[in-house]
């Protein structure tokens, strides 16, 4: 009889504890999902499956792109850039920036060290002197040279006149940065200044644009131009199919273009 009472008491005590626990669970606050499934799920982890976009930053100890890698904004490399693959980084390889269609400029604020060679399609300076490498590999102005002493030229080579006047001027091949080429009519000069690397064809194109974009009012700023509607006014300029160094000018029958080229 006593044993049965003890057993019953154990069952009663266990039931009371279970009921109390259930009441605590029932009394707890339940927070419902903020959106219907599958929204508000955890972010998808990086995986080896198809294309994937990761929002936010990503840091890795080693990065390998087995196909093309595209960087939409600035790229900062805290180390050495090699051409080729890691297996041939110590051998001859090439790092290419840009191409002939879309060339890229390289700006270096520090030094440039080349253990093999440096090539350039165009190297120029304000004195039009060549640049050479000395015995230590430093680029210097080549010795035994003199500056370009041949003056620039803008010379009339063809002239015809009837109801309008046609004049052809030739740009000489001696050009260095700072040279000024001027064509003038009605006491109104139109000038272009040569930049480093300019050739006659470039001067022709820039003079053409400057003349063709000069307005009748600008031509008449000294009250020397003919009346509007006069044949050959305002003057026009075009290039020559026979010689890329020639610029052909058309002006009225009374006036003439004068040309000059100077080196300050």
- Classify strands 164-171 and 131-133 as parallel, antiparallel or unpaired: unpaired
DSSP secondary structure code for residue 62 in this structure: S
How confident is the model at residue 182, as a pLDDT?
97
pLDDT single digits (tens) 170-197: 999 999 989 999 999 999 999 999 998 8
CA distance 124 to 201: 18
What are the structural domain ranges in the chain? Answer: 154-262
Q: Which of 142, 80, 85 is nearest to 113 (CA)?
A: 80
Rounded (to 5) percent helix, strand, coil in the chain: 15, 20, 65
Task: Report CA 63 to chain centroid distance, whole Å.
Answer: 27
Report the alpha-carbon angle 66-68-72, nearest 5. 130
Beta strands in the chain (DSSP E): 131-133, 139-141, 154-161, 164-171, 180-185, 188-193, 236-239, 246-252, 258-262
Q: Which residue has the tokens 């003919």?
A: 226
Q: What CATH architecture does domain 154-262 belong to?
A: 2-Layer Sandwich (3.30)
10-residue stretch averages of pLDDT, the chain, 264 residues long: 59 64 56 69 76 81 81 75 64 68 75 71 61 69 67 94 95 93 97 92 96 96 94 96 94 96 92
Contacts of 167 (CB under 8 A, 6+ apart): 156, 158, 159, 248, 249, 251, 256, 257
How confident is the model at residue 155, as a pLDDT?
95
Report the alpha-carbon angle 181-185-189, nearest 5. 40
């Amino acid at each position: 009889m006593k044993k049965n009472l003890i057993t019953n008491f154990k069952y009663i005590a266990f039931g009371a504890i279970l009921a109390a626990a259930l009441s605590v669970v029932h009394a707890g606050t339940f927070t419902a999902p903020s959106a219907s499934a599958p929204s508000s799920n955890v972010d998808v982890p990086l995986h080896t499956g198809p294309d994937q976009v990761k929002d936010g930053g990503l840091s890795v100890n080693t990065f390998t792109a087995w196909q093309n890698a595209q960087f939409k904004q600035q790229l900062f490399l805290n180390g050495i850039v090699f051409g080729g693959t890691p297996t041939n980084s110590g051998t001859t390889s090439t790092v290419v920036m840009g191409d002939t269609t879309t060339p890229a400029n390289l700006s270096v604020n520090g030094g440039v060290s080349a253990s093999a060679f440096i090539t350039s399609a165009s190297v120029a300076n304000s004195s039009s002197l060549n640049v050479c490498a000395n015995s230590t590999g430093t680029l210097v102005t080549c010795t035994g040279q003199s500056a370009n002493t041949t003056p620039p030229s803008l010379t009339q080579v063809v002239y015809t006149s009837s109801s309008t006047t046609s004049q052809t001027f030739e740009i000489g091949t001696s050009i260095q940065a700072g040279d000024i080429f001027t064509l003038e009519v009605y006491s109104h000069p139109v000038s272009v200044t040569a930049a480093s690397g300019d050739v006659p064809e470039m001067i022709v194109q820039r003079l053409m644009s400057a003349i063709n974009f000069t307005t009748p009012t600008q031509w008449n700023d000294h009250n020397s131009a003919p009346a509007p509607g006069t044949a050959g006014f305002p003057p026009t300029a075009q290039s020559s199919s026979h010689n890329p160094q020639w610029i052909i000018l058309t002006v009225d029958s009374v006036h003439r273009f004068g040309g000059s080229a100077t080196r300050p």
